[in-house]
Homo-oligomer: A and B are copies of this chain.
Amino acid sequence: MGSVQGWPGRSVEAAFSLEEVQLAARNHGMPLEMLRHGITPVGMHYLLIHYDIPLVHPGSWRLHVDGAVANPASYSLDDLQALDHVTRPVTMECAGNGRARLDPRVVSQPWVHEAVGTGEWTGALLWPLLQEAGIEGDAVEVVFHGLDRGREDGVEQTYARSLTLDDARRPAVMLAWGLNGGPLPPQHGYPLRLVVPGWYGMASVKWLDRITVVTEPFEGFQQTQVYRFRTADDDPGVPLQRIAPRALLVPPGIPDFFTRERYVEPGRCLIEGRAWSGHGAIVRVEVSADGGATWVDADLDPPTFAYAWQAWSHLWDAEPGEHVLCCRATDEAGNVQPVEQPWNTGGYAVNDVQRVPVIVA
């Protein structure tokens, strides 16, 4: 892949394009030290925005509900905020998290580990609103249309995704207008977004414009062309939905600015982090200080909400030398993070164990 001579005297392996760096400068992750916060501060939650962030004037904005319903309706933001509403912590993760570490490389938004965050979302539950609209008997799916418009692989489109009626009926699915006690920031979908707890972020359509009940499965680009787990180009694959389990740790000690290598003082060192899964509660987090050769169980907090991450910690006796810290999560459905990651064409659901080299001195 060639190397780049960098000032001051850095020689690095070049593997990424300007296009990927340009995406990374727009769409940021959550710096891993933010795992110390149960609720991710505004501005630190990961963002993946396909096109541009729309500028929405709240006075003229309305949510339209139409399609195969008895009572098509439209709502102002005030109308929605007058409905019963809930406030819930939800851990959201990009389906492409970890993609940058795949070999062979998969070229798209280059996440390393950090495409995650837990927001405290406020909004109305979806299903009562759909019941109010009166879903007709031949309906099969609900399509969520955003206001964000662009092109992708030559296809001009407005971002849209669907849920089956069964998925739309899940009691946790909400239409959110608030984050962490304030309004939605523009970059998180102001004035209204869908939040689908337990699923990768692509399902949680931002800048909602229209909810359309349909009688045939939705064939939109974001539903059928991308966000599918395929092991080869001729594999039709399966759609990405629930988040695979992952534990991440706060890299201990202090970092090198450029390499992010960690320097830790000898002695007892608190290793802490969070773990989550879209398949159910996390039941076990293990820690390794030798790159995965041996593992010990960490102390794991119980869930605070069904779809929010759980805190865990472990006291490590850091002896002088070089070590590789790892952590891995197991969820109640029995899914365990892999040590070796099988490759896939989209770079999705890359949930192999985090490896954090540390120098203890």
Contacts and interface: CB of A to CB of B under 8 A. Distances in A.
Given A10-B107, A28-B28, A17 B19 contact: no
Contacts of A45: 43
Given A16-B14, A112-B25, A346-B7, A187 B107 contact: no
B43 A187 contact: yes
Given A21-B100, A151-B257, A254-B156, A106 B26 contact: no
A152 B257 contact: yes
- Centre residue among A24, A108, A187 by max chain B CB count within 10 A: A24
A186 B44 contact: yes
A257 B150 contact: yes
Given A14-B2, A31-B26, A185-B41, A19 B156 contact: no
A104 interface: yes
Interface stretch (A48-56, A62-70, A199-207): A48-56
Contacts of A4: 1, 15-17, 105, 107
Contacts of A276: none
A7 to B, nearest CB: 5
B263 A156 contact: yes
A100 B5 CA distance: 13
Interface string A114-150: 1100000000000000000000000000000000011
A256 interface: yes
A293 interface: no
B16 A258 contact: no
A166 interface: no
- Centre residue among A114, A151, A152, A263 by max chain B CB count within 10 A: A151
Nearest to A259: B19
Contacts of A36: 55
